[in-house]
Structure 1
Amino acid sequence: MKTIVFIGTNKSGSSRDAIKAAEELGYFTVLFTDRENFFRQRDEFPDVHLMIYLKNLSYNEELIREIERLSELGKSIKGCISYIDPFVYVAARLSEYLGLVHLSTKALYRMEDKTRTRDHLSTHPSTPSYTILPFEAPLTFCIEKIKDQLPLVLKIPVSNGSKDVILVKSIEEFTNGFLSLRRKYPTSSILVEEFLNGTQYIIEIVVCNGKIEFAGVIEQKIDHKYRFIVTGYEYPAVLTEEAYTNLINSVTSILKCMEFTDGSCHLEMRFVNGVWKLIEINPRISGGAMNEIIMESTGINLAKEILKLTLGLKSFQTINEQKYVYAHYLTVNSTGRLLKITGKNRASAISGVRKVYVKPRKGTILTIPMSMGDRYAYVLAAADTPEEAKRIAMKAAKEIKFYLVPL
């Protein structure tokens, strides 16, 4: 039986879209997960034909043994893939071990750690000023090292989804942020970067045999109130011809330096004083609604196309935008237990709205946004102009109300 192995998934978003795509293509789908709650909600994963729980999903003997057991049970493994940090590199190594399609494993390894990325691209013009603070470095030493460089951004090298990314504008804020990360990650280094003030964009990339395809350029709307939380996505981004040409050249140069010749990734970049600067690069398609945003605009299921690339079925087709799409995410301003959510049907009924997604269940504890995981709903709208798509999405989002019981 033709089988695809997935290492990790989220309940919704691009990673789940890929599993559904595999089922649509006629494959037996196997999911390795380290999330016990997925087994309690097993009936919510009808597209997963076999779910296997492992506490540790790193590349280890137990994982390899379970993979080999699938073959012994008659499963003909055609692909091993992950759309989730930090398992992309693990899946690529498993693919190599099984003699399947070879991805740019070394580049994926570099991308999964922000300090590896920065050090590898240290001389590239897209790299901002940065410092790596070792885990054993005392606070006084670190303050002395950065005191003349504020404002700065603090990051944990393996964080994702804007978790543990802190903007600091003063020594006091640096001290608080530094100590907070130290308590949470006592053995991790801390990456300190200059704060780049400019519009931020996501660039979705697919590379096949060294040929780079730009699957989409998306403008992000970021809320800095608590952390770097993206609340809006505009696709396709509106750029001048010169800015777009410079972006293509910069991204192409970055991928060449990373020795990335096969696979998918997305870059987050800011246009600062006429120069494209790299915020980060991740070895996968963006999560959340990204796959739906691109599909609504172009009709192309990017998660599915990436899956085909991993299976060696075809090279990627160039995307031609069809319409403008805007996705607006909703957060809450206080912490509490969810009593109810209203307005979903009213929002869905507004002309131009393509999807309204609400994540939490009744009784869930909601918090102010400290990471992308603290976004609790989104509205996706499409129109003939970017302004109209955004207007529709924002109008629909106002219909959705969260009712919380304070803790």
Structure 2
Amino acid sequence: MRHDTIVDAIGNTPAVRLRVDAAEGVEVYAKLELLNPYAMKDRVARQMILEARRSGALEEGAPIVESSSGTMALGIALVGTYLGHPVHIVTDPRIDPITLTKLEALGCVVHVVETMTGQGWQSARLERLAELMSGMPGAYWPQQYSNPQNPAAYRTLADELIGALGTVDVVVGSVGSGGSLCGTSAALLERLPDLKVVGVDCVGSVLFGQPDVPARRQSGLGNSLYPDNIDYRLFDEVHWLSDDEAFDATQRLAREQKIFAGNTSGSVYRILTHLAAEAGPGTRLVGILPDRGDRYVDSVYRHRPAGPIATRPVEVPYGTTVTGWSFASIPRENRPVLVFVESNTTGTGMLALRTAVRLGFEPVLLAKDPARYAGLDGTGCRTVACDTESDADVLRAVREAAGKRTIAGLTTTSDFYLEHTARLAAALGLPGHAPETMTACRDKSLTRTALRDAGVPQPAFAVIGDSADIAGAVASVGLPCVVKPVGGSGSQDVLWCADAATAAEHAARVLAVTENVRGQATAGKVLIEEYARGPEYSVEMFCDNGQAACIGVTQRTACALPYFVETGHVFPAELPEATSGELAESARQALKAVGFDRGPAHVEIRMTDMGPVVIEINARLAGGMIPELVRAATGIDLLEQQVRAAAGYPVRLLADRARHAGIRFLVARRTGRLVAITGTAEAERVPGVERVVTTGSPGRAVRPPRDAYDRLGYVIAVGDSAQEVLETLDAAVRLVDVVTDQD
């Protein structure tokens, strides 16, 4: 076939029938993507770079910077340098000499990181990439793991399969960034709705609910991160292979089929032949073989297994930790339903829905007004509008949404629906909290009473329901004091009061409020409490089998008094071990006092001269993206553990790294209308910054923060110490400007 350029030669690879042991009439094909100029990811490189040039994201002659240790690097090098762009590849010591030589021969600059960071080699590479981007104005980062052009590139592969074979019953592919198998199968399913999609992963990869093992030796598949390009709804089945099993299969592929390929191809071959042996007559199976074997001459092809190689997989429930060849079924049409009753609006609510999809559930969000939740479209959840204030309406909606499928559990990420969810879970016989425990946590006056009865240190307090009692309550508590509603959230209507008149005025104002931000009736009570002096921390707890585990302590930074809005966090706080222990024990005693014994909790504590005093118990995960800080710093995915606990699954609370992470919220300096938030691209390039997110839209009314709803975005950074994180956040936030019509 004639082509005018090497870039045009990408694609149109052959589909070759394999000789395998199978029933008569079973056809098995290998799509030889390894016969692209370099490998399968040449398709992605071409798609991403050409689209970036078309859209203006990549200007003529501008540099391209990408993180890769394998064939994506070669594809970027091929297309980028051919089109006249300087190409910088960030990689790690696992890169093989052949790939390194090819990259250098193609004219790339190769940057090799020297040490692994908390999330393995990938996070180390991304940190180095950010450093490079900060010094290269106009540089383009393709971002293969989240770029939608990655899966889009494989529509042509699906077209080629249909053109060559007409129909396909089973497609098998490796999963790393998620682009190849998800892109191919999504396009095939449009025309072949009965197609079975089988993913192949490696032991020690997090992609399908496994704990991370950064030292795994397989390359080209698996991941220590969760790429945005994986659509878990497409998969029917997933297989995991150990390093020994994958390398043995790769050698078998060469010996049996005369295809000299890499370990991703070998892994696909092992699963493909297993499925073929069990297939009925007339079944047509295709395996996608991504890369050649020349990179693996001294590793895979000279490897000898440490013990016997499994000849059949072990079937396990999805979410079970595996150590060797295993598989789990995750049928698209019959996944267990996990119901979310409303959501928070701080960001982790949408992440929780995506986490449920990743763990093999179909999340169903019950919401009175689904339009209040930005980002729902990208979560993969099903939304059902119903009156979430009516238990009867919610129960009816749950049963209708589930149909004949299993209801795995009920949960929520919203403070305002903790009591509802506990009652509903009990009514359905599902795992959940005792409703009275949730009531004791949600009503801060009941929390105070429970803590007092248990002897847990806390501020002096008074509860009033009538304006006539305000003066006496303030006198009993003393000044300065804090006035707050008993059922609020997000620091809304929480005020520090220096004098009795201010306290009386604010308490009367709170008592006059009859509905909260969700339209629920307020309790008609106000809490007036002593102002506890000292730094404030939150203790992130998780109760499993009645045992309260301390995940860590978060250092909190709030805006200037009289308000209490958190403007930043660092996790974990750098504290003496004894101080951290005191805070953790105080949190345990507080949870015991209210009867809290399962799932996540976020306990706010001030460390006073007299020791820790409990400010609030939140019977849920922390807001303010703290779960994301915990994940980045320790590897513990608290959102995943909440979902697992809600479904009655075992939880995993072991840290696999020891770093620090922090967040700084973007807020307005003055009252007005938002015009723009500028400088975010520059802030993202600051080394150590993990992400910059804006949530405020132009035209929105803004003000200096009085509650959490006044935040307009955030910056998250990761580093090896709290001080490093704070310095990174300072540098990034200095580059961001929240512009209002009053500036």
Instruction: Give the TM bin, normalised by the shorter chain.
Output: over 0.9
280 and 48 in structure 1: CA distance in 2 versus 1, 3 angstrom threshold: same
Task: Look up the SS of the partner of 1:120 in the other structure.
Answer: helix
Range 341-350 or range 100-109, more displaced: 100-109
1:94 to 424, 427, 438: 424
Q: Determine the C-alpha separation between the residues in 2 that align with 1:236 and 1:35.
A: 36
The aligned runs of 1:27-176 (5 Å cut-off) are: 27-38=361-372, 44-54=376-386, 56-71=387-402, 73-123=403-453, 124-134=455-465, 136-138=466-468, 141-147=469-475, 149-176=478-505
> Which residue of structure 2 aligns with residue 391 of structure 1?
727
Q: Determine the C-alpha separation between the residues in 2 that align with 1:208 and 1:144.
A: 43
> Which residue of structure 2 aligns with residue 228 of structure 1?
564
Task: Look up the SS of the partner of 2:557 in the other structure.
Answer: strand
Q: Determine the C-alpha separation between the residues in 1 that align with 2:655 and 2:438.
A: 24
Range 263-272 or range 171-180, more displaced: 171-180
Asked whether the 8 Å contact 2:497–2:562 carries over to 1, the reply is no
Q: Determine the C-alpha separation between the residues in 1 that align with 2:531 and 2:450.
A: 20
1:342-396 per-position Cα deviation (integer Å, ceiling 9, x unaligned):
1000000011111111111122222221211111121111111211110110110
Runs of 4+ that moved beyond 4 A? none
Q: Determine the C-alpha separation between the residues in 2 that align with 1:9 and 1:25.
A: 18
Matching residue's letter, 1:132: V
Listed as ranges, the gaps of 5+ residues in structure 2 are 1-333, 515-521
> TM-score under structure 1 normalisation?
0.93
Asked whether the 8 Å contact 1:236–1:321 carries over to 2, the reply is no
Matching residue's letter, 1:53: A
Range 6-15 or range 149-158, more displaced: 6-15
Matching residue's letter, 2:394: L
Matching residue's letter, 1:162: S
TM superposition shift of 1:13 = 2.1
The aligned runs of 1:200-219 (5 Å cut-off) are: 200-219=536-555
The aligned runs of 1:304-323 (5 Å cut-off) are: 304-319=640-655, 321-323=657-659
376 and 8 in structure 1: CA distance in 2 versus 1, 3 angstrom threshold: same
Task: Look up the SS of the partner of 2:401 in the other structure.
Answer: helix
TM superposition shift of 1:249 = 2.3
TM superposition shift of 1:320 = 5.5
Asked whether the 8 Å contact 2:368–2:385 carries over to 1, the reply is yes
The aligned runs of 1:269-284 (5 Å cut-off) are: 269-284=605-620
> Which residue of structure 1 aligns with residue 151 of structure 2?
none
Sequence identity, in percent?
24
Matching residue's letter, 1:24: R
Q: Determine the C-alpha separation between the residues in 2 that align with 1:192 and 1:237.
A: 29
Task: Look up the SS of the partner of 2:488 in the other structure.
Answer: coil
Asked whether the 8 Å contact 1:332–1:367 carries over to 2, the reply is yes
Matching residue's letter, 1:326: G
Matching residue's letter, 1:114: K
Q: Determine the C-alpha separation between the residues in 2 that align with 1:182 and 1:317.
A: 41
Q: Determine the C-alpha separation between the residues in 2 that align with 1:184 and 1:256.
A: 32
Q: Determine the C-alpha separation between the residues in 2 that align with 1:147 and 1:289.
A: 38
The aligned runs of 1:286-301 (5 Å cut-off) are: 286-301=622-637
Q: Determine the C-alpha separation between the residues in 2 that align with 1:46 and 1:332.
A: 28
243 and 383 in structure 1: CA distance in 2 versus 1, 3 angstrom threshold: same
187 and 271 in structure 1: CA distance in 2 versus 1, 3 angstrom threshold: closer
Equivalent pairs, count: 400
Q: Determine the C-alpha separation between the residues in 1 that align with 2:655 and 2:371.
A: 37
Q: Determine the C-alpha separation between the residues in 2 that align with 1:38 and 1:175.
A: 34
Asked whether the 8 Å contact 1:115–1:132 carries over to 2, the reply is yes
Asked whether the 8 Å contact 2:480–2:499 carries over to 1, the reply is yes
Q: Determine the C-alpha separation between the residues in 1 that align with 2:547 and 2:654.
A: 11
Asked whether the 8 Å contact 1:30–1:48 carries over to 2, the reply is no
Q: Determine the C-alpha separation between the residues in 1 that align with 2:567 and 2:705.
A: 10
> TM-score under structure 2 normalisation?
0.52
Matching residue's letter, 1:143: A
TM superposition shift of 1:291 = 1.6
Asked whether the 8 Å contact 1:267–1:281 carries over to 2, the reply is yes
TM superposition shift of 1:274 = 4.1
Rg larger in 1 or in 2? 2
TM superposition shift of 1:68 = 2.0
Asked whether the 8 Å contact 2:591–2:617 carries over to 1, the reply is no
TM superposition shift of 1:251 = 2.0
125 and 293 in structure 1: CA distance in 2 versus 1, 3 angstrom threshold: same
> Which residue of structure 2 aligns with residue 188 of structure 1?
524
The aligned runs of 1:9-24 (5 Å cut-off) are: 9-24=343-358
321 and 165 in structure 1: CA distance in 2 versus 1, 3 angstrom threshold: farther
Q: Determine the C-alpha separation between the residues in 2 that align with 1:166 and 1:390.
A: 27
> Which residue of structure 2 aligns with residue 267 of structure 1?
603
Asked whether the 8 Å contact 2:456–2:589 carries over to 1, the reply is no
Give the structure with the higher percent strand.
1
Q: Determine the C-alpha separation between the residues in 2 that align with 1:351 and 1:164.
A: 37
Q: Determine the C-alpha separation between the residues in 1 that align with 2:734 and 2:381.
A: 38
TM superposition shift of 1:406 = 4.2
Asked whether the 8 Å contact 2:431–2:647 carries over to 1, the reply is yes
TM superposition shift of 1:57 = 1.7
RMSD: 2.0
Task: Look up the SS of the partner of 1:87 in the other structure.
Answer: helix
Task: Look up the SS of the partner of 1:286 in the other structure.
Answer: coil
Q: Determine the C-alpha separation between the residues in 1 that align with 2:582 and 2:346.
A: 34
Q: Determine the C-alpha separation between the residues in 1 that align with 2:526 and 2:437.
A: 21
Matching residue's letter, 2:507: F
Matching residue's letter, 1:271: M
TM superposition shift of 1:59 = 5.0
TM superposition shift of 1:69 = 1.7
> Which residue of structure 2 aligns with residue 245 of structure 1?
581
TM superposition shift of 1:36 = 4.8
Q: Determine the C-alpha separation between the residues in 2 that align with 1:254 and 1:378.
A: 31
Task: Look up the SS of the partner of 1:177 in the other structure.
Answer: helix
